[in-house]
């Protein structure tokens, strides 16, 4: 059993990658994710089995990971903001070739270079960036313990199901330092070469006929939906001490990532004031927990989306919501959200 350790988010990511069996990181420094690369390099100074390469840019880093996983190496990269944009070409190739590429995305404010601090504005990029259908597994952790857990799961599920996987973090979470429980028991999924000198295997990335590509994407979609039934994760928060009445709400807050922490505090305050309010938190943004959302929404009269974006989570929710429910919200692109601001929505 591992003792709790006092770590930053970047240190948590590095420990999770090492514990997942990763041996190689390709990266290019970009705030607020640079510390992942620097902490990995620090670990590699003492553990000679760990390798790294600082590439000339994020484009190269993404394609290097693609090449490494083809050779059977558990490799990964980390990026943020403009780097996430540049990495879409490699991620599109990983989509098309079904490569187990793992990317840690540390969101920062846009548009363009924007701010170097924090946002939740890279949801669309993480899921649908590039020319493809968005067949990527995307986790949105809310705290450092989850950051460790879902980074571990990212490697396992990427290699088990052969879909690129993104851990969608943010600048605040990456800079946070707190006691973290790293006692997450999971057996690592093994990595095997996808191509080698002893195998003749053609993994196509170019299709001459539209019908061929259509058939390939239809099969990929089928596999992705099958994977979803096994990996989809979400959380329903009923308020501390209110489990007996869960999950019957008149009004529902939906938030993801670090913003969900503020939303939980707001739910506690609102329930103390006599309001029947709960929180739904999608942990996998892709595949989205549609069935869980719609089951919960049956008794809900109004939904409030709370996010550090102009509506990227809102659009995801509306795409997956079956019932005609009024949707309102608090949208603060690239700004932190406090519990008091969420409470004011209900005044």
pLDDT band of 197, cuts 50, 70, 90? confident
Q: Counting beta carbons within 10 angstroms of the beta carbon of residue 337, is it exposed (0 to 12), middle (13 to 18) or buried (19 or more)?
A: buried
DSSP 1-65: -PPPEEEEHHHHHHHHHHHTT--EEEE---TTSHHHHHHHHHHHHH-TT-EEEE-SSHHHHHHHH
Q: How far is CA 187 from the centre of its chain?
A: 21
What tokens appear for 208 in the block?
């001459």
Angle between helices 9-19 and 34-46 (to 10 degrees): 50
pLDDT band of 228, cuts 50, 70, 90? very high
pLDDT tens digits along 104-141: 999 999 999 999 999 999 999 999 999 999 899 999 99
More confident site: 204 or 245: 204
The reported pLDDT for the residue numbered 90 is: 97
Q: Classify 305 in phi/psi space as left (phi over 0), alpha (psi -120 to 50) or beta.
A: beta
- Name the residue ranges covered by the structural domains of the chain: 5-231, 234-344
pLDDT band of 231, cuts 50, 70, 90? very high
Average pLDDT of span 43-66: 97
* Percentage, residues of the chain above pLDDT 70: 97
Q: Do domains 5-231 and 234-344 have the same CATH topology?
A: yes
pLDDT band of 205, cuts 50, 70, 90? confident
Query: Is the per-residue pLDDT at 185 higher than 70?
Result: yes
Query: Is the per-residue pLDDT at 243 higher than 80?
Result: no
The reported pLDDT for the residue numbered 120 is: 98
| Closest CA relative to residue 83, chosen from 109, 105, 66 | 105
The reported pLDDT for the residue numbered 245 is: 55
User: In 130-280, which residue ranges form alpha helices assigned H by DSSP?
Assistant: 144-161, 171-175, 210-231, 259-272
Contact 164, 70 (CB under 8 A): no
What's the CA gap between 318 and 105, in Å, rounded?
24
pLDDT tens digits along 264-281: 999 999 998 989 999 999
pLDDT band of 1, cuts 50, 70, 90? low
Q: What's the CATH code, domain 234-344?
A: 3.40.50.920
Average pLDDT of span 218-226: 97
What tokens appear for 324 in the block?
């005609």
Q: What is the mean pLDDT of the chain?
A: 94
Query: Is the per-residue pLDDT at 195 higher than 90?
Result: no
pLDDT tens digits along 299-328: 899 999 999 999 999 999 999 999 899 999
The reported pLDDT for the residue numbered 198 is: 73
Query: Is the per-residue pLDDT at 200 higher than 70?
Result: no
The reported pLDDT for the residue numbered 347 is: 86
pLDDT tens digits along 166-179: 999 999 999 999 99
Q: What's the CATH code, domain 5-231?
A: 3.40.50.970
Query: Is the per-residue pLDDT at 244 higher than 60?
Result: no
The reported pLDDT for the residue numbered 2 is: 67
Query: Is the per-residue pLDDT at 240 higher than 90?
Result: no
Q: What angle do CA 149, 152, 153 make, to 5 degrees?
A: 85
């Amino acid at each position: 059993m591992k003792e709790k350790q006092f770590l930053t988010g970047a240190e948590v990511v590095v420990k999770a990658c090492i514990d997942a069996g990763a041996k190689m990181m390709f990266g290019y420094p970009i705030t607020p994710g640079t510390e992942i690369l620097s902490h990995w390099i620090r670990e590699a100074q003492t553990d000679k089995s760990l390798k790294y390469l600082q590439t000339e840019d994020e484009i190269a880093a993404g394609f290097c990971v693609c090449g490494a996983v083809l050779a059977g190496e558990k490799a990964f990269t980390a990026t943020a903001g403009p780097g996430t944009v540049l990495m879409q070409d490699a991620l599109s190739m990983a989509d098309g070739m079904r490569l187990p590429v793992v990317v840690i995305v540390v969101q920062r404010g846009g548009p363009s270079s924007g701010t170097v601090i924090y946002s939740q504005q890279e949801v669309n990029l993480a899921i649908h960036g590039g020319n493809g259908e968005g067949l990527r597994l995307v986790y949105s952790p809310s705290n450092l313990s989850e950051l460790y857990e879902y980074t571990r799961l990212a490697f396992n599920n990427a290699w088990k199901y052969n879909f690129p996987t993104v851990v969608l973090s943010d600048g605040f979470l990456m800079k946070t330092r707190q006691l973290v429980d790293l006692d997450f028991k999971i057996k690592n999924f093994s990595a095997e070469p996808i191509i080698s000198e002893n195998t003749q295997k053609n993994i196509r990335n170019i299709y001459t006929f539209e019908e061929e590509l259509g058939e390939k994407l239809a099969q990929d979609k089928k596999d992705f939906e099958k994977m979803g039934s096994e990996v989809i994760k979400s959380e329903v928060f009923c308020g501390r001490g209110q489990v007996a009445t869960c999950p019957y709400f008149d009004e529902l807050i939906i938030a993801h990532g670090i913003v969900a922490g503020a939303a939980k505090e707001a739910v506690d305050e609102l329930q103390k004031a006599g309001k029947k309010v709960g929180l739904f938190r999608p942990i996998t943004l892709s595949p989205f927990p549609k069935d869980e959302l719609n089951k919960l929404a049956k008794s809900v009269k109004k939904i409030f989306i709370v996010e550090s974006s102009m509506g990227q989570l809102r659009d995801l929710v509306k795409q997956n919501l079956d019932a005609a429910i009024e949707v309102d919200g608090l949208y603060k692109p690239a700004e932190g959200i406090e519990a008091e601001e969420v409470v004011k929505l209900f005044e």
